[in-house]
Amino acid sequence: MQVPLFRFLLLLIAGILVANYFPELNLIDSVLVAAILLTVFLIFYVLRKTVRQPLTIAFLAYSFTFLFGYALTSLKSPDRYTQFQYPPAIELRESMLHVFSGHGIEGNEYGVLASLTLGDRVGVDKQLVKDYAASGVIHILSVSGLHVGIVFIGFNFLLSFLDRNKKFSVLKLILLLLLIWFYTLLTGLSAPACRAATMLSFVILGKAKAKSISTTNILVASAFFLLCIDPFMLFQIGFQLSYAAVFGIVYLHPKIKGWYDSNYWLMRQVWLIVSISIAAQLFTFPLSVFYFHQFPNYFLLANLLVIPLSSFIIYVAVLLLMVFWIPYFSDAVAWILNGSVQVLNNIVTTVHTMPYAITKSIYVTIIDVVLLYFLMLAATEWLMHAKSKYLFGLLSALILLTGEHLISSF
């Protein structure tokens, strides 16, 4: 039985954290820290009888992963790892933005469209950004899994004719990989876009080998892969929120989705958006209040309206980029696009101005964040399986969370 990749990811993260917060440690000290951590780690899993490999092999594998994370972080400077820019991609992106502006799209509509489709936030009004954040749809303004997924669905549909021949199906997979990563490069290789592109790449390759695909393993593998490339991604807020949201969707959405069913297609789609939004919002809540100290109360309503409309806007924007050279027709497409973005902005502004739209001044510590995640996991497992150990974990988290707040209040 293979050791789950999740344990290797935890040890890689542990090595990165030790190297980042204890830079004065030398190699001998780091090896000693690794030995202590791994001994405790292995004892825990041996007691639970979950490690079935020879302990020597497991210890060496875990030790190497921890030290690799430590060395990788120690040898690299965080200043060297800013958002990647590729000059030809920048020029192409500027040409695409010129197509939008050349068809009369300007002001807030241009800024939101540029951010929504190409990840360029320069033209977005600061107050409008605050409105999007207060409405719980700020993720729309940064190219992330939603955007990469929409692009993937579109290209997968356009290339579906290649599935008729098995020889061409391989070509389709290669084209999909190239197109996904080209789009990610075009948007500046942001952390959420890279995460989504990496996950989709693993899914595409997994399907090519006709193997069953574990979404959790793909999520963990993509995080491991990206942290090996740049360990300082771990400290980016967008990276943390991105993985928290996707983990919430992968872990919690299948459980929430079963709460409601309908014979009507429209109602099923509405519930799909609602259930995904609940799962993502719950798992990003601790990090969101830790970093931003606020919570959007109408996030369900906003996402229910904004997600379908933003998907439509992306596809219309792609259409405009394809037909911009055709007179009159391109103007009609641009008019529809501009009007759609106006409606999107009006929805967000309206939700933000509703009474009690946002709860502010929420302050939590990093200990609270850890306890809140533990509380959510324990509560979910207890509700699903009704076992005493999950109830014990739930009550323990509540007691610790309450005690931590009582102590901090004195």
CA-CA distance, 353 to 335, in Å (whole number)? 27
What residues contact residue 246 under an 8 Å CB cut-off, 6+ apart? 145, 195, 199, 219, 280
Beta partners for residue 294, in sequence order: 360
Q: Is the pLDDT of residue 337 over 90?
A: yes
Interhelix angle 299-323/329-352, rounded to 10 degrees, is: 160
Interhelix angle 27-47/5-21, rounded to 10 degrees, is: 150
Q: Counting Cβ atoms within 10 Å, is residue 262 exposed (0-12), middle (13-18) or buried (19+)?
A: exposed
- DSSP letter for each residue of 241-287: HHHHHHHHHHHHHHHHHTT---SSHHHHHHHHHHHHHHHHHHHHHHH
CA-CA distance, 275 to 76, in Å (whole number)? 40
Burial string for 83-94 (b: 16+ CB within 10 Å, else e) reads: eeeeeebeeebe
Structure tokens, 223 = 């995080």
Confidence of residue 319 (pLDDT cuts 50, 70, 90): very high
Span 373-384, pLDDT tens digits? 988 888 888 888
Domains of the chain: which residue ranges?
A: 1-75, 87-360, 364-410
Span 256-265, pLDDT tens digits? 888 888 888 8
Provide the 10 A C-beta neighbour count for residue 63.
17
Span 141-190, pLDDT tens digits? 877 777 888 888 888 888 888 877 777 778 888 888 898 888 888 887 77
How long, in residues, is the chain?
410
Provide φ and ψ at 6, rounded to 5°.
Answer: -60, -35
Burial string for 215-229 (b: 16+ CB within 10 Å, else e) reads: beebbbbbbbebbee
Span 285-300, pLDDT tens digits? 999 999 988 889 998 8
Conformation bin of residue 30: beta by default, left when phi > 0, alpha when psi is -120 to 50: alpha
Burial string for 309-322 (b: 16+ CB within 10 Å, else e) reads: ebbbbbebbbbbee
Cβ contact 334:327 at 8 Å: no
What residues contact residue 17 under an 8 Å CB cut-off, 6+ apart? 234
